[in-house]
Amino acid sequence: MKKRILLFLVLFSGVLLCNFVSAKALPKKIKKMAESVEQRYAPDKKVAVFELEIKKKRKTITLNGITTVPEAKAELISSLREKKYKIVDNFRLLPDSSLKGNIYGVVNLSVANIRRKVSFASEMMTQALLGTPVRILQEDEWFRVQTPDNYISWVNSSSIYPMNKAEFNAWSKADKIVVTSHYGFTYEKPDANSQTVSDIVSGDMLKWDGVEGDFYKVSYPDGRKAYLLQKEGTPESKWVDGTSLNAENLIRTGKTLMGVPYLWGGMSAKGLDCSGFVRTVMFLNGVILPRDASQIAGVGEKIDISNGFDNLKPGDLLFFGRKATPELSERIIHVAIYMGHQKFIHSQGFVHISSFNPEDKEYDQYNLNRLVGAGRIIGNVGNAGISTVKTNPFYQPQL
């Protein structure tokens, strides 16, 4: 028995040694070169793909993997060639050529759940609403997609209707109806007692085919026909022109979501995480922000709150987490909308109002203690990272 154990340990050590030697066979200068390119072009894995495996045999370098950043690939190959290496290029650019031009898609469900990996059991990273345009990057039973906030992850293929450029442009140019009711249904007939076609949530978009009685005639991306009560939607053109990003509208919209439960990755009236709440409130007022709290903190105007709350205005955003120390960097993990008078609305457990004032019944000492910073989106739409349905390239016809 001891001999068998000894033999196993020798063989196991051999495997470890082989792996170790294989890993060390790649010169450090090549590793550093690849790491430098990745850090400059794809530092945030949520919005850029850079998955690379490098193999070296004498003066030949084989690159295997995928990336969404052509500039990163071009620079890496150029740098390696300068070092006189011969390149075997298996480093594919996304969207993958195997998609054969069907690289556009539109969300086909009221809310699509977008996950970290190709599995229903995988962590939900974000969501996208019905009618949201996406870029399809890759197919592996599911679709790897990029949403208008540039977020990249995996979604079950039943949630997305793939299109080629001509089909997508036809969809993009068509008149739409935007759902304004936080929750409801579409129907097979212009009758609320008829068979439902699907549920709907605020922010969903459907193709507008006409009007019949009290209903809009609408179409889904996959061609399904339905009827939507006019009181639960509005024409996109009217919605876009009628939205105005101001404090009153943001706070009013936020309050309509009071009590909606917290849902990790949630981005709809069915459930919201903290940044999903802020992102949804902004979208319902025509503005598209980055997805996560830490990403939102990187856009807009920074507001100094080092001496209190006097510089804050209603509608500003508050960021919470870990303050920077000599040993640790700042970390943003929560975001809220400031309402004025030291009160703020946010999704934590459920959407509710909290206060920094110890005299208020909503006093929230926990979040006061982890308040890190503040930012202003109002007045900064159009700046880097802050777009609208009118300006975001995902919503425009593709050239």
Enzyme catalytic residues = 274, 334, 346
- Are 361 and 301 a contacting pair, CB within 8 Å? no
Average confidence (pLDDT) over 74-93: 95
- Are 162 and 104 a contacting pair, CB within 8 Å? yes
Instruction: Give the span between the Cα atoms of 186 and 202, in whole angstroms.
Output: 13
**Does 149 share its domain with 192?**
no
Lowest mean pLDDT among 14-23, 30-39, 55-64, 278-287: 14-23
**Does 262 share its domain with 343?**
yes
Residue 21's pLDDT is 34
In a domain, 395, yes or no: no
- Are 196 and 143 a contacting pair, CB within 8 Å? no
Residues 247-301 pLDDT 10s? 999 999 999 999 999 999 999 999 999 999 999 999 999 999 999 999 999 999 9
**Does 321 share its domain with 363?**
yes
Residues 156-176 pLDDT 10s? 999 999 999 999 999 999 999
In a domain, 180, yes or no: yes
Domain end marker among 172, 198, 225: 172
pTM of the model: 0.91
- For residue 6, is pLDDT > 70? no
**Bridge partners of residue 337, in order along the sequence:** 317, 345
**Does 267 share its domain with 295?**
yes
Sign of CA dihedral 89, 46, 281, 118: positive
Residues 294-338 pLDDT 10s? 999 999 999 999 999 999 999 999 999 999 889 999 999 999 999
In a domain, 274, yes or no: yes
Distances from the Cα of 291 to the Cα of 38, 76, 159, 276, 378, angstroms? 21, 29, 19, 7, 17
In a domain, 259, yes or no: yes
**Does 266 share its domain with 379?**
yes
In a domain, 279, yes or no: yes
Helix (H) or strand (E) holding 321: strand 317-322
Number of domains the chain is built from: 4
Band (pLDDT 50/70/90 cuts) for residue 106 is: very high
Domain end marker among 242, 261, 288: 242
Residues of the domain holding 127: 98-172
Average confidence (pLDDT) over 336-355: 98
**Does 108 share its domain with 166?**
yes
**Does 201 share its domain with 271?**
no
> Percent of the chain having pLDDT more than 90?
90
- For residue 7, is pLDDT > 70? no
**Does 361 share its domain with 233?**
no
**Does 261 share its domain with 348?**
yes
Average pLDDT in the chain: 93
**Does 286 share its domain with 375?**
yes
**Does 293 share its domain with 362?**
yes
Radius of gyration of the chain (CA): 25
Residue 27's pLDDT is 80
